[in-house]
A and B are shown apart, each in its own frame.
Chain A
Amino acid sequence: MSVFNQSRSGIIQIAFGFVFLVIVGQLVNLQVFSAKYKLAAENNAIYRKIIYPDRGIIYDRNNKSILENTIMYDLVVTPIEAKGIDTLSLCELMAIDTVEYKRRIKDIAFKNGSVRPSVFEPLLAPDMYARLNENMYKFPGFVLSERSARSYPYSVAANVLGYIAEVDTSFLRKHKDEGYENGDYAGLTGLERAYEKVLMGRRGVKRFIRDNKSRIQGSFENGAYDTTAVAGKNLHLSLDADLQKLGEKLMNNKVGSIVAIDPRTGGILCMVSAPTYDPNLLTGGMRKKHYGELALDPRLPLINRTVSTKYSPGSTFKTIVGIIGLTEGVINANSRIECRGAYYGCGNGKPKCLEAGDFNFKEGIAHSCNTYFATVYKRILDQPKFGSADSGLRNFNQYASSFGLGHKLGVDVPSEKNGNLPVSSYYRKIFGYNWNSCNIISNSIGQGEVQTTIVQLANVMATIANRGYYYTPHLVDSIEGGDTYGMLDSFKIKHITRDVPDSVFTQVQDGMQAVMEFGTGAAAQVPGIVVCGKTGTVQNAAKVNGVMVKQKDHAFFGAFAPRNNPKIAIAMICENAGFGAESSAPIASLLIEKYLKDSIVEPERKDLAEALAKKNLIPPMMKMAMARMDSIKQAKLILLQQQKEKEEEDSSDEEISIDTTNNTDVSPKPIKRKPIKDSGKKAYTLNNAAILTDERNYYFKKKTIKA
C-alpha cells in the first residue's frame, strides 16, 4: 500500500513548495513593489517634534531689557495615571469645582486620549504655580511643565512692542512656506510682528519613534536627522524705557499719542499711544479674557495711535507753509501781514484769527496767526509762474512730501498710515476744473484735507531741527549678530528736503523759539533749555446718534530741543483736550526735560507732572460709550445672578461655598460689586483690565447718580 501511494509523497512535497512560493510571491509584492507601506510606517511611527528656540530679547537704548522671555508653567495631566487622586484638594488649589474637574478630564481624554499628557490648565499664574508646586507629590499623573512665555519687565510700550499669539488659519495661508504650524505662536502686532523673522530664530526638529498610542519610545536613529534650534536675535531699540514710562504716565486718562525722535539718527525715543495697557496682560493664562476686554474698550487701547491714526495737523502745519513760503520767496522774514480778527483774502472772513495785530513772520508763528499763513498759502499757490492753482499745489506738495508728509515713512512698526496731502485731481472732482486757492484755504492752517500721523509730525520737527534732512524714524537701532535680512538698511538713508536754504530754517526756528518764549507755547518752557515748538488746536466733530456734533478741540504740539545741536524732536496730540497749551505743550516739555536732563528735579515741575498725570481728559463720548457698555454688562450680570439664585433655590448644591472662597484667590475684585459665577466657569468680574482706577470711579459715580 505504501509503495502504491509513494508518488503521493512527491505530490505533497510539490504542494508544500508551491504554497511557500505563493507566500514568497506575496512577500515580494509587499516588500519590494509596494512603496506605500514604507511611507505608512514612517507616518505611523516617526514623530517630528519641533524645538522652539528662545525668542529674541528687546533692549532699550540704555540696554534695559523691555521684552524678554520668562518661564511659565502649564499644569499637564495624563488622565490614565491620575485616577484615584485627591481631586477635591486639587480642585481647591485650582479654584475650580469637581464638576469642572471631571468635565475637563473627560474633554482631555476625548480629544487627546487618556494615555498621553495634555494641558489641564495653561500658563498658571505665579501664585497658583507656587501653591500647586508644593503639593504636586499628592497628585500623580499631574506635572508642571515649563513653557517659555514673553514678559515685559517695564510694562511699557505695549503697542510698540506688540504681542505674540497663536497663529490662525489666515496667517498660515499667508506664510505658507515659512514652516509655521497650527498651534505655533507668532508676533501679531508691533515689533514682535515687524521683526518676527529675526526674533523667532530658527526652529529645530527632533525625530522620535512613537508607539501605537503616540507615546514617545526614543529618538529616531539616535538623532541623526535632527536639526538644532537657533535662538532668536536680540533687538536694540533707540527707545528710552524711562522716557516711555513717563510719557505713558503723563498720558494717563487721556486719549492721544506722543512720538519723540532723535533727529540725528531718526531713532524713536518714545512712542506713546494712549490709552495703553499693561502688555503683560496679554501673556499669561488670562490672555483671552484680557484681550476680549481690551478689544471691546471704546477707547481702542489696542490701536497704535502714533502711526495708525490720521489727524489734521492744525497749526503745526504752519511751519511747513512758512518754510515753503520763505523758500519760494513769496514772503521774507520781515514781511508784515495784518490780521483783523479773520482772513478776508477770500472774502468770507475765514479762517478766523485769535489775536488781531500786525505780524512779521516770527510773530506770525509765535501767535499762530491764521491770517498770516492763509495769506502765505494763497500766495504760494497763486504764484504767476505756475499759471494755475493745479501746478501751484503740485509744487507745494513736492515740498511737503520731501518733509515726509503724505506718504508712509516706513517706520518699523506695522500698520502705518499714509496721511494725506490732497492733490488737484481730488479738488477738481469737488470744485470743478477752475478751482482756486480760496477753495482750499483751510489747508493753510492744517485744517482742511491735510492729514498727518503723529510720527510724520514728529519727523517734520526733526527735519526742521536738522535744517533740511531726516532719517526715517525707526525703533530698532541694531540687531544682535548682524542684520542679515537688511531690515535696517532703509533707516540709514538720509532724506534731504527739496532745496530749502539754511536761512529759511533759521527763520522758522526763530519763530518756533518765539512760540516758546512769548507765543502760544509759553506754558511749555523747559527751564534752561532753548526749545523750539509749535502748538496746534484742531476743530473736530464726531457723530453722536447719527448727528455730527462739534467736539472739544484736539490739542497738538510739536517741538525740538535744544535749538543748537538738537537731540530730541517731539510731536504729540491730546484728543479733545481743548487748548494745546494746557495739556500737550506741558507734557511735551516735561518729556524734553526728562530726556535732556535725565530726570525732572525741580519740585514745581514734579508737581506739574503729577497734576498732568492725574488730569482726566478722556473725551466725553468715550466716557458715554464706556458707561453704556458697563450698564449692558451689568444688566447681563444681574440677569445671570438671578438665574443662579433660581438654580440655587432649585437644587441644594454644595459647591457654592467652595466657589466663593476660591474666587477671592483668583482675581482682584472690584470693591463695589459681588462677583457672579457663570455656572462653574471662570469668575466674571466687572474689573475691566484696561480701565484705569479713576475711570472706574467716574462711571461708578455716574451709575449711582442715575440710580
Chain B
Amino acid sequence: MDTVKKGNKQISPGIDWVIVWVYATLVAIGILCIFMVEYKPSINILQSFIAGKTNYSKQLMFSSLCVVMAMFILLADSKLFTAFANLMYTFGIFLMLATFVIGKSINGSKSWIPLGGGFNLQPAEICKIFTSLALAKFLARQETDFTKLRSQIIGGCIALAPAFLSVLQNETGLALVYFSFFIVMYREGLPPGLLIIGFSFGVLVIATLVVEPNILAVVLTIIAGATIYFTRKIRKRNRNLLTIIIVVWALCVGVQRFAVPYIFNNVFQCYQSTRIFSMVGKDYDCSQNKSAMRRVADKEKAAKKPDDYNVRQSKIAIGSGGLIGRGFLKGTQTRGKYVPEQHTDFIFTSIGEAFGLAGCVVFLGLYLFLLLRIINTAEKQRSTFSRVYAYCVACIMFFHIVVNVCMTIGLFPIIGITLPYISYGGSSLLSFTILLFILVRLDADRQMVLR
C-alpha cells in the first residue's frame, strides 16, 4: 500500500519512460501521416489542425483524450486490474453480444455500438484488453497448472470466445487477432507441437493455392513415403507410427483436395477468396463461388474495380517511394488519393511513399524496438499476471503490425486490421493506449506479486 501512496504523490516512480516516449513518437508520426494523406496545398495548416474538421485534427483530439486516459491508468492501483480482470472480460463479452441487438453496421460488419455524437465503439477492439487481462488472470492463478490439457483448453477458450463472436459479427480480421494469444500461451508452456501443426497447416493451405493439385498430391505422397522409409527402424519399436503417418498423409491430401476448395468456394465470399488468391499471385475464378453464383442469380452487379485494386495501388505507392522516398507531402499517390482507406488501414503506404525504404526501416525498427522492450519488460516481472499481460500486449501489437504492413506490401490478404498508434481512429488509438499503459502501470509495480 505504501508504494501506491508514494506513486500518488509523484506520478509513479519506476515508470518505463522509454516505452512512454516511443509511444508518444509513434502517435506523433501517426498524426503526421494522416496529415500527409489529407493535405491540400490550399489550406491554412494551423487552423485546420485546430478546427477539428479534418481527420488529423480529430486524431489530435483523440490523442489528448488518450493522454488523459493514460494519466488515469498510471494513477490507478495495479491491483485494480487483477481484481476486475474477470469482471471486465465478462463485460466485454456482454458488449460483444450486445452488438447483435443494438449494433450498427459499418462497412458491412455489424460490430459497432453507437455512442452518440457520431462516435461508435467497436467492442471487439476493447475486448482485446479485457481478454489479455482475463488470460493473465487465469494463468496467474495458483491453481492453474498450464501443463495440463484442461488448463490449456480453458486458456484457449478464453482467447477464442471473443474471436468466435467477432466472426459472427462478420469481422474476420479482428477475430484473427485473438489467435495471437497462442504465442502467449506458448510462452507459458503450450506444447510447441500445436504451433508447429498450425504453421504446417498454413503452409499446406498456401501450397494448395500455389501448386497444381495433382502435383501437390504426388509431392505429399512422396514425403509420406520417404517418412515411412526413413522411420523404418523406429517403426519396429513403435507400430502406431505407420498408422499416424498414413492418417496425417490422408488428412493432408484431404485438406488439399477437398477442404480448401470447399472452403474457398462455399464458405468464403467471392471477394475474400479473390484477395487470398491475389496475395499468392493467382486469379480466383468467381464463377465457382457459391455466394457469387447466388448473387449473380439475384442479378446484382459485379463490382467494377478489380478486387486487387487496393493492393496494387498500395504497392505502387510504396514502390514509388524508392530508397529515400519522394519527400514529405510530395507523394503523388498519396496526394492523388489513389490508395483507398489510406488514413486507416493503408496508412503505412504514406510512409513508404514519402520516406522510402530508409523511412520504412527506421519506422519498423521503432516498432521492433518497442516489441522487444515489452518482451524484456515481461521477463523482468515477478508476477505471472504482469508477465502474461505483457506478452499479450506484445503479441497483439506484433500481430497488428505484421498483418497490417504485410497487407500493404502484398504479403497478406486484405483484412481490416489497423496499424497501432498510426492508423486514424479513436477506437484503435484508445484501446492500444490503454493496453500499453496498463502494462506500464503494472511494470512500475513489478516488485509486487499480483494475482
Contacts and interface: CB of A to CB of B under 8 A. Distances in A.
B45 to A, nearest CB: 15
B336 A212 contact: yes
Nearest to A40: B316
Interface string A221-258: 10000000000000000000000000000000000000
Contact of B187 (A5, A31, A46, A221): A5
A211 B336 CA distance: 3
A88 interface: no
Nearest to A6: B379
Interface in B341-370: 352-353, 356-357, 360-361, 364, 367-368
A32 B315 CA distance: 12
B364 A24 contact: yes
A38 B189 contact: no
A37 B409 contact: no
Interface in A1-50: 1-2, 4-6, 8-9, 12-13, 16-17, 19-20, 22-24, 26-28, 30-32, 34, 36-38, 40-42, 44-46
B323 A12 contact: no
B292 interface: no
Contact of A44 (B187, B332, B372, B405): B332
A6 B335 CA distance: 48
Contact of B320 (A24, A28, A37): A37
B427 to A, nearest CB: 25
B318 A20 contact: no
A544 to B, nearest CB: 61
B323 A31 contact: yes
A6 B391 CA distance: 13
B183 A12 contact: yes
A30 B409 CA distance: 8
B375 interface: yes
Nearest to B333: A41
B6 interface: no
Nearest to A33: B319
B406 A44 contact: no
Contacts of B409: 23, 26-27, 30
A209 interface: yes
Contact of B352 (A2, A17, A31, A211): A31
B318 A217 contact: no
A349 interface: no
A38 B320 contact: yes
Chain A interface mostly: helix
B398 A45 contact: no
A210 interface: yes
A310 B86 CA distance: 106
A22 B411 contact: yes
Contacts of A32: 322-323, 357
B41 interface: yes
B371 A5 contact: no
Contact of B319 (A38, A46, A210): A38
Contacts of A27: 318, 352, 357, 360-361, 409
A218 interface: yes
B178 to A, nearest CB: 17
A599 to B, nearest CB: 61
Contacts of A19: 398, 402
Contact of B338 (A9, A38, A45): A45
A30 B315 contact: yes
Contacts of A28: 357
A665 B402 CA distance: 68
Contacts of A2: 384, 387
Contacts of A22: 411
Contacts of B189: 1, 4-5
B410 interface: yes
B40 interface: yes
Interface string B381-413: 000100100010000001000100110011100
13 contacts: A1-B188, A5-B187, A6-B379, A12-B391, A19-B398, A20-B364, A26-B410, A31-B356, A38-B322, A45-B338, A212-B336, A217-B40, A218-B335
Given A12-B391, A27-B360, A31-B352, 7 more contacts: A2-B387, A12-B187, A26-B409, A27-B318, A30-B318, A44-B336, A45-B336
Interface of A: 1-2, 4-6, 8-9, 12-13, 16-17, 19-20, 22-24, 26-28, 30-32, 34, 36-38, 40-42, 44-46, 209-212, 217-218, 220-221
